[in-house]
Amino acid sequence: MQQNYLYPQVYMVDGRPNLNPHVPAPAWALPTLKKKRKLDWKTVCIILVLNLVLLALAGLALGTVYLLDLRQELNEIKQGNGDKGPYAEKIIGIQNITKPSKDLRAAAHITGYLITPCSNPLPWDDRKGHAFTRGVLYKNRGLVVNETGLFFVYSKIYFRSHKCEESKNLQHIVFKRTDRYHKDMILMETKKTNYCSVSGREWATNSYQAGILQLFKGECLYVNVSYPNLVNFDESKTFFGLYKL
Q: Rounded CA gap, 108 and 126, in Å?
A: 8
* Residue 194 confidence class, pLDDT cut points 50, 70, 90: confident
Distances (CA, A) of 88 to 77, 94, 126: 6, 8, 30
Distances (CA, A) of 124 to 67, 128, 129, 136, 197: 54, 10, 12, 14, 31
Average pLDDT over residues 211-222: 96
Span 89-139, pLDDT tens digits: 444 444 444 455 566 899 999 999 999 889 999 999 999 999 999 999 999
Domain(s) of CATH 2.60.120.40: residues in the chain? 107-244
Q: Please, what is the Cα angle at 126 between 121 and 128, to 5 degrees?
A: 125
CB distance 139 to 219 below 8 Å: no
- CATH T-level assignment (fold) for domain 107-244: Jelly Rolls (2.60.120)
Q: State yes or no: pLDDT of 197 exceeds 80.
A: no
Q: Rounded CA gap, 230 and 121, in Å?
A: 14
Span 147-176, pLDDT tens digits: 999 999 999 999 999 888 767 889 999 999
Phi and psi at residue 240, to the nearest 5°: -155, 140
Residue closest to 138 by CA, chosen among 102, 113, 156, 167: 113
Span 5-17, pLDDT tens digits: 555 555 555 555 5
